[in-house]
C-alpha cells in the first residue's frame, strides 16, 4: 500500500512524464515542417510515445498499489525552436530534470522503507541513464556538425539507428 506522501510524489511524476510526452510531441510537429529531417521528426514522435508509456506504467503501478493515479492538466510546451540544435539542447536539459525527479522519488521510497516502489523505480533509473546518454551523444554530434547541411543530412540518416541501439525499452 502506498503512503499518501509516496502516492503524491508518484502522481507528480505522472505529470512530468505526460508533460515530457507533450514537449516532444511539439518538437515532432515543429520538425515535421522543417525540410529534410524526416527521421529526426520520427525520433521525436517515437520519443513522445515512449514518454506516454512511462506515464502509463506509473499510472498502473499507483492504482495497483492501492493508490489513485490522477490524470493531470498539462502546460503549453514550446511550439518552435530557432534550430535543431536548440531542440536537442532542450531535450537534454529536460531529461536531466526528469532524472533528478526520479532520484527524488527513490529517496522518498528509501526513507519510507517502501521497497516495492523502490524496486519499481529501478526501471526508471536505468531508463534515465540511457536517455541522458542518448541525448548527450546526439548533442555532441550536432555540435560537431554546426551549420553544415551535409552533416545534418547524415545526422538525419543516422538518428533512428542511434536511438534503437541505445533504447532499453521493453
Ligand atoms: Fe520518461 Fe525521458 O523521461
Average pLDDT on 104-112 reads: 98
Q: Say which residues have a Cβ less than 8 Å from residue 130's Cβ, sequence separation at least 6.
A: 166, 167, 168
Q: For residue 97, report the distance from its CA to the centre of ligand 1, in Å.
A: 9
Q: Give the per-residue pLDDT at 164.
A: 55
C-alpha cell recorded at residue 12: 507528480
Pocket of ligand 1 contains residue 47 by CB under 6 Å: no
Average pLDDT on 158-169 reads: 69
The b/e string for 52-61 (b: 16+ C-beta within 10 A; e otherwise) is bebbebbbeb
Pocket of ligand 1 contains residue 85 by CB under 6 Å: no
Pocket of ligand 1 contains residue 41 by CB under 6 Å: no
Over pLDDT 70: what percentage of the chain?
95
Distance (Å, whole) CA 17 – CA 125: 14
Q: Say which residues have a Cβ less than 8 Å from residue 83's Cβ, sequence separation at least 6.
A: none
CA geometry: angle 140, 142, 147, nearest 5 deg: 145
Q: How confident is the model at residue 170 (pLDDT cuts 50, 70, 90)?
A: very low
Q: Does 163 score more than 90 pLDDT?
A: no
Length of the chain: 170
The predicted-structure confidence for 41-88, as pLDDT tens digits, reads as follows 999 999 999 999 999 999 999 999 999 999 999 999 999 999 999 999
Q: For residue 81, report the distance from its CA to the centre of ligand 1, in Å.
A: 20
Nearest atom within ligand 1 for CA of residue 94: 2
Q: Give the per-residue pLDDT at 126.
A: 97
Tell me, what CATH number does 53's domain have? 1.20.1260.10
Average pLDDT on 148-160 reads: 93
Nearest CA to ligand 1 atom 2: 95
Average pLDDT of the chain, as a whole number: 95
Nearest CA to ligand 1 atom 1: 51
Radius of gyration of the chain (CA): 17
Q: Does 169 score more than 70 pLDDT?
A: no
Q: Tell me the residue range of the domain where 43 lies.
A: 4-168
Q: Which of 17-31, 106-120, 147-161 has the lowest mean pLDDT?
A: 147-161
Total tally of structural domains belonging to the chain? 1
CB 59 within 8 A of CB 6: no
Q: Give the per-residue pLDDT at 165.
A: 54
Amino acid at each position: 500500500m502506498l503512503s499518501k506522501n509516496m502516492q503524491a510524489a508518484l502522481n507528480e511524476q505522472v505529470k512530468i512524464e505526460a508533460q515530457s510526452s507533450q514537449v516532444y510531441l511539439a518538437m515532432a510537429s515543429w520538425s515535421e515542417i522543417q525540410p529534410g529531417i524526416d527521421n529526426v521528426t520520427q525520433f521525436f514522435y517515437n520519443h513522445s510515445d515512449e514518454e506516454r508509456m512511462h506515464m502509463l506504467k506509473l499510472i498502473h503501478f499507483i492504482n495497483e498499489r492501492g493508490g489513485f493515479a490522477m490524470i493531470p492538466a498539462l502546460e503549453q510546451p514550446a511550439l518552435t525552436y530557432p534550430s535543431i540544435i536548440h531542440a536537442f539542447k532542450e531535450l537534454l536539459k529536460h531529461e536531466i530534470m526528469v532524472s533528478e525527479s526520479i532520484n527524488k522519488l527513490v529517496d522518498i521510497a528509501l526513507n519510507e522503507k517502501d521497497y516495492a516502489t523502490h524496486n519499481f523505480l529501478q526501471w526508471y533509473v536505468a531508463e534515465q541513464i540511457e536517455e541522458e546518454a542518448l541525448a548527450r551523444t546526439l548533442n555532441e554530434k550536432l555540435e560537431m556538425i554546426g551549420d553544415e547541411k551535409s552533416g545534418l543530412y547524415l545526422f538525419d540518416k543516422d538518428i533512428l539507428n542511434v536511438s534503437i541501439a541505445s533504447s532499453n525499452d521493453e
